[in-house]
Amino acid sequence: MTDGTTETGETGRLDAAELRRRTADLLAAHPPADTAPLDFLRARFDAGLAWVHFPRGLGGLDAPRALQAVVDAELEAAGAPDNDPRRIGIGLGMAAPTILRFGTDEQKQRFLRPLWTGEEAWCQLFSEPGAGSDLAALATSAVRDEDGTGWVVDGQKVWTSSAHLARWAILIARTDPDLPKHRGITYFVCDMTDPGVEVRPLRQITGEAEFNEVFLTGVRIPDAHRLGAVGEGWKVAQTTLMNERVAIGGARQPREGGMIGVAARAWRERPEARTHDLHQRLLRHWVDAEVARLTGERLRQQLAKGHPGPEGSGMKLAFARLAQQISGWEVEFLGEDGLAYDDWTLRRPEGVDFTGRQAGYRYLRAKGNSIEGGTSEVLLNIVAERVLGLPPEPRTDKDVAWKDLPR
């Protein structure tokens, strides 16, 4: 078997026909019309049809990643419930691949099933008031407790999406201030319901509070909730960050999907607002969106062969630029109706909805696309150094102990 679509070969890897058969068996045993959504999702996970490229027993079948589309299409046609990926995107796109790569067997068994079914939402405790673009400068501390079985965490995190919904968080904290900033960090799973965890809303330019700041005061984390070795948190975090950029910028879209589809629909519905200049700009945005979509397909083919690399940073860069350009075009095209929208309240949303809200919301929310998941400036450096092979920027603090860095 070479492309994942032929009959099962001697290697025992599954093909599309076998996955269709297994999906049909799932639907026969758990008809979507007669099965509670959560029960169906649990059964799907146990059948290995949640993410087919994951190992057996962890929601997968060790099948090629590309075959997930076969399962998804069969289930969608049958009206099966999904796991609301917009609400649990951080768990699916960031926590799960990190746990899979660095977690113990016990951690994988404990966390992956309720993560995928949506029973337990996740958030990401990375950025801090003094460590955003320079994330490795983080100051949140984790100190061994008296009996050596766990850690006591103190600090503040910021821009934490969905912290108000999350049961669990992926957290990086400093465990050795005597080492240079990249080497004294350890990666943990934090229970957001534990004493000492305080979540406060951050109101955004859109009027809602999708983000939060999180205060950690004497939060106790058992060592069993550590991911990776002590002091190797930056290495673990790279897996999270690379997957995050793919999750933000590399989501699969049909042709004319996403924000370019909204803009094109507005153009077709309002012939009285058309001008030659707006038409030419829309065409350029449409072409750029299609190039980005096809590039994303190529990136997902690379992902099928292993872990994401720095190319995901390029996709996230393109996504942020396009979202801001297209939303700006839409506001200009709609004229006096462009910036108005009818939900200017302190909402606590369960996710970002770029296509189901009004143009004014999209325009304002898109401003955050060049900040979240790594600023565009940082991602440009990553692409320059790790994709194009250009000389790195001078880093004078690379070998300086974190405690000696100016703050």
Provide DSSP, 84-138: -TTTSHHIIIIIHHHHHHH--HHHHHHHHHHHHHTSS-EEEE--BTTBSSSGGG-
Where does the pLDDT of residue 75 fall: very low under 50, low under 70, confident under 90, or very high at 90 and above? very high
Distance from C-alpha of 18 to C-alpha of 64, rounded to nearest angstrom: 12
What's the pTM value of the predicted model, to 2 decimals? Answer: 0.86
Q: Which of 120, 244, 311, 330 is catalytic?
A: 244
What pLDDT was estimated at residue 241? Answer: 85
**Ranges of each domain in the chain:** 16-77, 91-231, 237-387
- Residue 40 pLDDT greater than 80, yes or no: yes
CB-based contacts of 23: which residues, under 8 Å, 6+ apart? 49, 70, 71, 74, 75
Classify domain 91-231 by CATH number.
2.40.110.10
Q: Does the pLDDT at position 1 exceed 60?
A: no
Alpha-carbon distance of 140 to 147, in angstroms, equals 21
Tell me whether domains 91-231 and 237-387 share a fold.
no
| Per-residue tokens: 79 | 């009206």
> CA-to-CA distance for 22 and 116, rounded, in angstroms?
19
The kind and range of the H/E element at 117 are helix 105-117
At residue 7, does pLDDT exceed 60? Answer: no
Domain 237-387 bears CATH identifier 1.20.140.10? yes
* Known catalytic membership, residue 290: no
How high is the pLDDT of residue 10? 35
Asked if 150 and 173 count as a contact pair (C-beta separation under 8 A), the reply is no
Task: Supply the mean pLDDT for the chain.
Answer: 89
The CA-CA-CA angle for residues 286, 372, 345, to 5°, reads 90
Predicted local confidence at residue 49, as pLDDT: 98
> Radius of gyration of the chain from Cα atoms?
22
